Structure 1
Amino acid sequence: MEIKYVYTRKRSEFGRPCNFSDWPATVNVDIPPDPSMASNFILRNPVDSSVQHTSDMSEHEVNTEPVEVESCGVNHVEGGWPEDINPQDMEKTTRFRKKVEKDKHYIDTIVHLGTLMEHCIKQNNAINIYEEYFGEEEETAEVEDEPPSAKYIDVIRDPNETKRTATHLSWHPDTCKKLAVAYSRLEFQKNAKDMSFDSYIWDLENSNKPELALKPSSPLVRLEYNPKDSHILLGGCYNGQMAYWDTRKGELPVEVSHVEVSHRDPVYGAIWLPSKTGTECFSASTDGQVLWWDIRKLSEPTESLVLDITHKGLLENALGARTLEFEPTMPTKFMVGTEQGTIIACNRKAKTPSEKITSIYRGHIGPVYALARNPFYPKVFLTVGDGTARIWSEEIKDSSIMQTKCHLSDLTDGCWSTVKPSVFFITRSDGTLDVWDFLFKQKNPSLSLKVCNEPLSSLRLQDNGCIVGCGSKLGTVTLLEMSSGLCTLQRNEKTLVTAVRPALSHQMFERETRREKIVEARRKELQLKKRAKSEAQATEVKEMLPEDPQEVLNRTRQEFFKVIEAERQRRTGAEAGNRLSEVPGVARTCTWGCCSVADGGVRLLPPSSAGLLGVSAPMGW
């Protein structure tokens, strides 16, 4: 039904009619060119301007009744099934589908639509009427010629008088206009008595005041939106507790874990797990534990892991977790960056606690402040610590495949670009944001931007890769928009985004991985040769150096006791011979076999007789 309403008005109310006539053009003002003004010309790019050719006029005013608008929606889970049909019942849905397919109206509609679709397919196969010629080259050239840059969008400040550090940022999963910020002071015993514990959700369209204040029992170190339900947020507290909020229920947490079963140190990592219910998560802390939770029952963790790389499971030997990483495409694997500079790769589904720690990467001499897998190549991950950012491959554990130069200022956070596989972002303690593109530059960042004067503490990139949020130590969150060259691969996204650039990045990562494998094999070979050479040199030196006095003393003692034992045996034999010689009529031959004693007399034996006895005669006999 079409509704129409015609507004009527008397001719006399229109006023005097306008009479138009032809008139020749006349010159009102003549301004000759002035060449001296060219030096004052300033090129502005881009320029946004608008011109209104006519003045704004209102002939009359109309007052209308206010219209009340209410937003409502329907959650279509299984499609438009009738109310009497249960979508979960396969038998009823099959019977209903067969009934609809036999309907004459349904058959006629399908035949009619099929004819139109066939015509469109044949026409598209003959010629692509939507193809744009020569547009890709021009747009691609514009992107390549444009230098990397960033534009300030907004600055959000901590509304409290006592400023706190913006420890973590989390973008709204459904819209890019909301940002959740966790505020806390991470310095030991630096919390002031009047310091607020609140963290906030900000609406970027009205950033003068927060949209909602979250009131935990302890300052929040981590705050994450639930990717399945944007009304729920997970928080990790400074005292080790876990809490979650439902924005529909207000500013207080819905449930908080008990102190007895929570972490003993601040929760530096809190991540949602891709479960069917959307209520599972896990956390990590510097107390050396990784705990798994279900927010429907925060009274105790569902599972725990002690980060003891000695595989003994002792909490006193555990390494403190400083950052936590999880890739949804690898549901059983996760990684932990520790305070000791070690990266631990774990497997949750392993049977024993010792088997859950699968790999250990030792690369930093200080805490690992950031750990992130490449969204295009999950086997490649980024770590930030000790003034450098390193890129690792899971296949090589001894060293990284690529790394940045060592910065004079500390690096505080880092993340990969969500749209370009070779681009990553780094924040520094001098307030600078660095954007690296290893595909084009390996020694210097593609863009280095001074964001603020205080140290930057946190970093988060939107899913579209265009907006970057940087949190500072004084609670200031700066939003930056990256230029198109840093947030798009190529203008022709359908082909180049999925083929050219990822292929180049993949070749780069594979090349560096192969190179590192060769270097590692060569290093092990040199170590073996060096070890063999050292052992040979040690043997030679040992032979040349004087013997150990203790060894000489032991050897001399052994020889001395051997001589004493031999002398004792000889004397025992001599005494037995003397007793035998005293027997009358018995002859006794000397040791040399050259003389014989009998009846108190000595008789010399000839050499031949001595030879018969098997003894060589003395010289001169």
Structure 2
Amino acid sequence: MAERRKEELKKKKEKLAELKRAREERKSTPPAPAPAESQKEKTKKDELDALLLELLPKQEPKVEAPEKVPENEIPTTPDPTCIIDTKAASNIIPQNIITSSGPATPTLSSRFIPDFTTFEAVILDVPPKEIVHYNKEVQTAATSFEAPPPSEDEIREKVRMEFEEQQKAKEAAAAEQRARQEAEKKKELKLLELSDEEMKNILNSSEFHEFVTHSTKMVERMLTDNFYDHMKDYTFNAAAERDENEGARVRYLFSFFDDRWSKNRFVTDVNWSHKNPELCVASYNKNPYNMNDPDGVVLIWNLRLIGRPEFVFHSQSDVLTTMFSEFHPSAVLGGTYSGQILLWDMRAKSLPVLKTPLSTAGHTHPVYSMQMVGTQNAHNLITASTDGTVCSWQLETLLQPTETLELVHSGHNKTDEVSVTSFGFPENETSTFWVGTEEGNVYQANRFGHAGGKAGINQYDSYKGHWGPVTGLHFHPLVGPVDFSDLFLTSSVDWTVKLWKAKSVSKPSASAQTISPLYSFEGSDDYIYDVKWSPTNPALFGSVDGKGNFAVWNLNEDTEIPAVNTQVGNGRALNKLQWDKEGRRVAIGSSDGRVHVYDVGELCNPREDEWIKMQKTLSEMNESGEMIGKMNTK
């Protein structure tokens, strides 16, 4: 049996070797046509299946009465009646083959069938850990000293620069081409030359003059800007400069003067704009040496245009007082010697756009003072003339006054008329006002009858203190924590300035009373033509006199002598002064036709205790005034 088994195994090995040789020959030889190759493969497959069946281990057949058969008695040849699962054989899965004892139909015995299940698996591709090998002898690569390759941003930037250079080259070529074409066109076209007559017509046209005037004004504003030092040296010692400019000082800035319009005229009034703080308006009387010029002119000066006026307005009569409309930025008002009230518009020409008629319905005597009262929605222009007539006007129409009031006083020496030279309203007051007269008295008057009183002058209260005409009257502005709006100043040709306390209107007098001033400032030796409170410092006011002196008084410092007294100009009489809105600059009108502008510096800035000191000063003045009154009574 062993020998037979060996022979069978030898035959099988030879068969396998033959199959391997056939496989190698098949790989080395080119493929045959499709049908033949298919047939050959089928044959080889059948041979492989038969060989696998032979290699499968033989199992003993099971019978009804199983008996243990010795191993050497197992038949070596396969039973032709057995059934072989070729599929299982191809997968080399052994299968028990059971045969019957006789030639009957074979039956398969039970075998183990595995239970297969299906599941989804997630395959993770984890890269192996990198092993870094370090060589002590070589620490740098051979290419480490070479320049690194350009990055993507560098390449993009290089491409962009090349593109821009190409574009610039194209634009330069196009510009050169256009310039060449324009040059050729100019050569072809003949230049038109204006004749002498055409040139003369252009130069004499009004449009050309307006263009030149407007353009040169703009240039001069930039060249004459004195409020910013374009050549300032920041390395200069600022402490020394501050010491020089601080303290009680008055610094001259510049003067407005025009040979065409200011020469041989007096400045009768000055005022500042409420909306445009750089604009200043001045009124002038007639020029006796040039009869062809208008009798009165009003010039609007600009702090940034010193050489010439910004606007020039004409009048058929001397303009004695002027002001900007507080609620109409482009409107300028003026009172004339003939009694007319004029309104100019900066958007129009030099002539007035509105004016009052010369009739008894308005003023027929010179108007030296005017004031705007009310609010934006309800305001009136109040004017007073030397015949005692006070009129109220609406600026929309100046054909006739909305109100007319005749100021008369029964105690007047010669006539009942009161010749008004100046007047003023307290802050936020529209009905009650005070007037200064030619005889030197000050009276309180009402526009309307109220509280048992009548419209007109209060016949019982007389403010007596001056011995000459009252040239200026101004109420204290309502600023700061303490209300001093019942205080007013008056100036006169008797060389004095008086401080008054207005009597309350709610307590009218039942009998004639004479009210004396709180204090008299007698530091001048000539006519004092105007006086004004500072709009920011409660104890500060300024005055001008006939000798060209500009005095600044500070009641909290000294009441005997002014804090600053400076000579203005060439010593000519100073007619009017006006503080600007911030209280830092003062415009002074002179009798030589010049408007001088001064800077008062730190004097305009009040200290925190300025109002408290002012109250103490007023109480001391009251005590001294009562003592003087008792001494005069005795």
TM bucket normalised to smaller: 0.5 to 0.7
Residues 1:368 and 2:478 aligned together: no
Unaligned regions of 5+ residues in structure 1, if any? 1-5, 14-45, 53-138, 491-495, 527-621
Residues 360-395 of structure 1, C-alpha deviations (whole Å, 9 max, x = no match): 211111111111111141111111111011111124
Residues 454-495 of structure 1, C-alpha deviations (whole Å, 9 max, x = no match): 1111101111110001110111001111121x11013xxxxx
The answer for the alignment partner of 1:455 in structure 2 is: 573
Question: Aligned partners of 1:183, 1:327: CA distance in 2, in Å?
Answer: 28
Q: Say which SS state the counterpart of residue 629 (structure 2) adopts.
A: helix
Question: Aligned partners of 2:276, 2:460: CA distance in 1, in Å?
Answer: 37
8 Å CA contact 1:322–1:338 kept in 2: the answer is yes
Give matches, 1:428-447, under 5 Å.
428-447=545-564
Shift of 1:51: 7.2
Shift of 1:144: 13
Sort the Cα spacing of 1:144 and 1:290 in 2 relative to 1 into closer, same or farther, 3 A: farther
Q: Say which SS state the counterpart of residue 503 (structure 1) adopts.
A: helix
Question: Aligned partners of 2:372, 2:344: CA distance in 1, in Å?
Answer: 14
342-351 or 428-437, larger mean C-alpha shift: 342-351
The answer for the alignment partner of 1:378 in structure 2 is: 485
Tell me which amino acid in the other structure corresponds to 1:302: T
The answer for the alignment partner of 1:50 in structure 2 is: 233
Question: Aligned partners of 2:430, 2:403: CA distance in 1, in Å?
Answer: 15
Tell me which amino acid in the other structure corresponds to 2:303: L
Shift of 1:195: 4.5
Sort the Cα spacing of 1:346 and 1:381 in 2 relative to 1 into closer, same or farther, 3 A: same
Residues 384-443 of structure 1, C-alpha deviations (whole Å, 9 max, x = no match): 111011111124943211111253221111101111111110111111101111211122
Question: Aligned partners of 2:369, 2:568: CA distance in 1, in Å?
Answer: 25
Shift of 1:47: 13
8 Å CA contact 1:242–1:262 kept in 2: the answer is no
Residues 1:159 and 2:277 aligned together: no
The answer for the alignment partner of 1:233 in structure 2 is: 332
Q: Say which SS state the counterpart of residue 618 (structure 2) adopts.
A: helix
Residues 1:299 and 2:399 aligned together: yes
Question: Aligned partners of 2:244, 2:461: CA distance in 1, in Å?
Answer: 40
Tell me which amino acid in the other structure corresponds to 2:387: D
The answer for the alignment partner of 2:279 in structure 1 is: 178
Residues 525-566 of structure 1, C-alpha deviations (whole Å, 9 max, x = no match): x3xxxxxxxxxxxxxxxxxxxxxxxxxxxxxxxxxxxxxxxx
The answer for the alignment partner of 1:193 in structure 2 is: 291
The answer for the alignment partner of 2:320 in structure 1 is: 221
Shift of 1:191: 8.1
8 Å CA contact 1:404–1:443 kept in 2: the answer is yes
8 Å CA contact 2:252–2:599 kept in 1: the answer is yes
8 Å CA contact 1:168–1:221 kept in 2: the answer is yes
335-344 or 325-334, larger mean C-alpha shift: 325-334
Q: Say which SS state the counterpart of residue 407 (structure 1) adopts.
A: coil
Structure ID, larger Rg: 2
Residues 1:467 and 2:585 aligned together: yes
8 Å CA contact 1:470–1:479 kept in 2: the answer is yes
The answer for the alignment partner of 1:208 in structure 2 is: 307
Tell me which amino acid in the other structure corresponds to 2:274: P
Sort the Cα spacing of 1:521 and 1:409 in 2 relative to 1 into closer, same or farther, 3 A: closer
The answer for the alignment partner of 1:326 in structure 2 is: 425
Give matches, 1:98-137, under 5 Å.
none
8 Å CA contact 1:333–1:348 kept in 2: the answer is yes
Q: Which among 599, 604, 608 is matched to residue 481 of structure 1?
A: 599
Question: Aligned partners of 1:193, 1:445: CA distance in 2, in Å?
Answer: 42
The answer for the alignment partner of 1:268 in structure 2 is: 368
Question: Aligned partners of 1:320, 1:158: CA distance in 2, in Å?
Answer: 34
8 Å CA contact 1:461–1:467 kept in 2: the answer is yes
Give matches, 1:76-91, under 5 Å.
none
The answer for the alignment partner of 1:257 in structure 2 is: 356
Task: Tell me the C-alpha RMSD between the 2 structures.
Answer: 3.2
Sort the Cα spacing of 1:435 and 1:511 in 2 relative to 1 into closer, same or farther, 3 A: same
Q: Say which SS state the counterpart of residue 462 (structure 2) adopts.
A: strand
Residues 213-258 of structure 1, C-alpha deviations (whole Å, 9 max, x = no match): 1122322111111112211122111111111122223322121111
Question: Aligned partners of 1:307, 1:192: CA distance in 2, in Å?
Answer: 38
Tell me which amino acid in the other structure corresponds to 1:193: M
Q: Say which SS state the counterpart of residue 328 (structure 1) adopts.
A: coil
Q: Which among 422, 433, 455 is matched to residue 539 of structure 2?
A: 422
Give matches, 1:444-593, under 5 Å.
444-453=561-570, 454-484=572-602, 486-490=603-607, 496=608, 500-517=609-626, 519-520=628-629, 523-524=632-633, 526=634
Sort the Cα spacing of 1:228 and 1:47 in 2 relative to 1 into closer, same or farther, 3 A: closer
The answer for the alignment partner of 2:23 in structure 1 is: none
Q: Say which SS state the counterpart of residue 175 (structure 1) adopts.
A: coil
The answer for the alignment partner of 1:344 in structure 2 is: 443
Question: Aligned partners of 1:326, 1:244: CA distance in 2, in Å?
Answer: 22
472-481 or 273-282, larger mean C-alpha shift: 273-282
Question: Aligned partners of 2:546, 2:573: CA distance in 1, in Å?
Answer: 4
Question: Aligned partners of 2:335, 2:460: CA distance in 1, in Å?
Answer: 26
Q: Which among 392, 416, 424 is matched to residue 500 of structure 2?
A: 392
8 Å CA contact 2:327–2:376 kept in 1: the answer is no
The answer for the alignment partner of 2:343 in structure 1 is: 244
Q: Say which SS state the counterpart of residue 520 (structure 1) adopts.
A: helix
Sort the Cα spacing of 1:153 and 1:146 in 2 relative to 1 into closer, same or farther, 3 A: closer
Tell me which amino acid in the other structure corresponds to 1:370: G
Shift of 1:505: 0.3
Shift of 1:150: 1.7
Question: Aligned partners of 1:358, 1:461: CA distance in 2, in Å?
Answer: 34
Question: Aligned partners of 1:346, 1:354: CA distance in 2, in Å?
Answer: 5
Identity across the alignment (%): 23
Question: Aligned partners of 1:236, 1:400: CA distance in 2, in Å?
Answer: 30
Task: Give aligned pairs, total.
Answer: 386
Unaligned regions of 5+ residues in structure 2, if any? 1-159, 169-228, 479-483, 504-512
TM-score for both structures, normalised by structure 2: 0.56
Shift of 1:519: 4.1
